[in-house]
Amino acid sequence: MTHPGTGTSPDLVLLHAFPLDASMWDGQRAALASMQRSRSRAGAPASGRVFLPDQRGFGGTDLGADKPSLDRVADDVAALLNREGSGKVVLGGLSMGGYAVMACLRHAAVRERCAGVILADTRPSPDPPAAAERRLRMADRVLAEGTQLLQDETVPSLLGETTWRERPGVVDRVRTIVGSVPAPAVAWAQRAMAARPDSTETLRGADLPALVLAGAEDVLTPPEECEAMARLLPDARFVVIPRTGHLTALEAPALFTEAVSSFLRHAGG
């Protein structure tokens, strides 16, 4: 899904978390469009376009027959940029989307276009063997039992304690999105994440402006782990979003968008 822009500043690509789809960016879509209009009125360089794609198998997209791998997601991003005629881009992703961004940094056709990266609530390290095995078991279970088990077993850890206590609408929205994702896409993504490589050296070599975001109440990728990831990057800003868990963009959309907008002004000149 795309919001058109008219300028020469880098395009923005945001890749969604697991097990959600691109609708998780609804708050950012409207806010970033507003930012573009405001910058244009202020005489600043016009912003580029905003791309909020569904990753393969999610949001009605074709899963295909490829072996599960985040490298295939990077291929999909390269195809998107070629199709849309993108020049420079800022690549962003939350959770699984962050893993995909790191795969994109290893993809020559994407890396050469990259003007900056945004990594939210994610990590560069691969799954330890026990965690990878849990993903593979979950993939098998989802195919056999359906996605209801994700609502019961995955959603509780995705949201911060403040959201559970004070934002019932966000809880309901996440449950609804998770309940609608296709089981084959969930299984494919779990297997792809279980097989992902270590991206530590990829980040160390990413001589690009970077924004690293962390939810203060995130139990899956705690702030201290995200801060350590930021230190790997040669030119990174680190921002903790208060009163949020793993899904910062959904739990505090205004604060998330404010941090992204500020970074885009920095990365896009």
At 130-171, the pLDDT tens digits run 999 999 999 999 999 999 899 899 999 999 999 999 999 999
The single residue listed with the structure tokens 């993939």 is 139
Contact 216, 244 (CB under 8 A): yes
Q: How far apart are CA 124 and CA 224, in angstroms?
A: 13
- What are the structure tokens assigned to 74, written together? 């990077």
Distance (Å, rounded) from C-alpha 76 to C-alpha 57? Answer: 12
Tell me how far apart the terminal alpha carbons of the chain are, to the nearest angstrom.
Answer: 25
Its domain, for residue 17, covers 2-267
Predicted TM-score (pTM) of this structure: 0.92
Q: What is the pLDDT of residues 56-82, one digit of tens each?
A: 999 999 999 999 999 999 999 999 999
What's the pLDDT tens digit per position in 171-229?
999 999 999 999 999 999 999 999 999 999 999 999 999 999 999 999 999 999 999 99
| Structure-token pair, residue 128 | 């330890």
- What CA–CA distance (Å, rounded) separates 135 from 255? 31
Q: What CATH number does residue 247 fall under?
A: 3.40.50.1820
Overall number of domains in the chain: 1
Q: How far apart are CA 255 and CA 259, in angstroms?
A: 6
